């Protein structure tokens, strides 16, 4: 709400997209106690990649290379990775997560429309940077376009719904 008040609707949409992804994961966790395995898989893969980079001499991971027996850690992480895979963990695409949650329509509409705020798509660039004159069709390029009031209202409404539904899911964990 603060971002919208400060006319930073584009930033609010980016955060809303992230909130939507987290909501979907929370929903899936509430429905399937083993869903956490799908988080462990990319975590372990990332850890393994970091260790490999440290082993290769990447200067950003020099401290890891000095303080951890990387070969032993890589073996341990490989074993953990295989264990998680054996338990059914998969690399899930975002659309697969929405589908599991029964929110495919939301993915195809809301999520996709918010994605153009994050990725440099043609439609996102037009929405953010082109001002098109309704009468002449001429356009000018701006740093950022002022969002419409309807865009602000949509962000506020969806954020409210996400917060309410997240509260319901969290409350169900305590029940």
End-to-end CA distance of the chain: 30
According to DSSP, residue 108 is labeled I
Last residue of a domain, one of 68, 87, 106: 87
Residue 81 and residue 100 in one domain: no
Residue 28 and residue 39 in one domain: no
Residue 114 and residue 171 in one domain: yes
Query: What pLDDT, on a 0 to 100 scale, did the predictor assign at position 138?
Result: 79
Q: How many degrees, rounded to 5, is the angle at CA 125 between CA 4 and CA 160?
A: 30
Can you tell me the distance from the alpha carbon of 27 to that of 101, in angstroms, rounded to the nearest whole number? 6
Number of domains in the chain: 2
Residue 74 and residue 110 in one domain: no
Query: What pLDDT, on a 0 to 100 scale, did the predictor assign at position 136?
Result: 83
Query: What pLDDT, on a 0 to 100 scale, did the predictor assign at position 35?
Result: 95
Residue 130 and residue 171 in one domain: yes
Residue 127 and residue 168 in one domain: yes
Query: What pLDDT, on a 0 to 100 scale, did the predictor assign at position 149?
Result: 54
Residue 106 and residue 43 in one domain: no
Can you tell me the distance from the alpha carbon of 56 to that of 96, in angstroms, rounded to the nearest whole number? 34
Mean pLDDT by groups of 10 residues along the chain of 175 residues: 67 82 92 93 94 91 89 92 95 95 88 76 68 76 61 70 77 72
Angle at which helix 149-174 crosses helix 9-31, to 10 degrees, equals: 30
Residue 109 and residue 148 in one domain: yes
Please give the residue range of the domain that contains residue 70.
35-87
Query: What pLDDT, on a 0 to 100 scale, did the predictor assign at position 3?
Result: 67
Residue 105 and residue 131 in one domain: yes
């Amino acid at each position: 709400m603060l971002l919208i008040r400060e006319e930073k609707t584009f930033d609010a949409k980016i955060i809303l997209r992230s909130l939507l992804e987290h909501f979907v994961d929370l929903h899936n966790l509430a429905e399937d106690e083993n869903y956490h395995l799908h988080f462990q898989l990319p975590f372990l893969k990332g850890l393994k990649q970091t260790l490999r980079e440290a082993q290769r001499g990447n200067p950003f991971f020099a401290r890891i290379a000095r303080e951890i027996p990387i070969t032993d850690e890589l073996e341990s992480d490989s074993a953990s990775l295989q264990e998680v895979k054996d338990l059914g963990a998969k690399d899930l695409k975002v659309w697969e997560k929405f589908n599991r949650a029964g929110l495919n329509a939301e993915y195809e509409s809301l999520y996709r429309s918010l994605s153009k705020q994050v990725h440099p798509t043609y439609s996102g660039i037009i929405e953010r940077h082109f001002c098109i004159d309704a009468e002449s069709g001429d356009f000018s390029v701006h740093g950022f376009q002022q969002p419409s009031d309807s865009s602000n209202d949509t962000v506020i409404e969806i954020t409210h719904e996400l917060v309410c539904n997240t509260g319901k899911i969290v409350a169900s964990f305590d029940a």
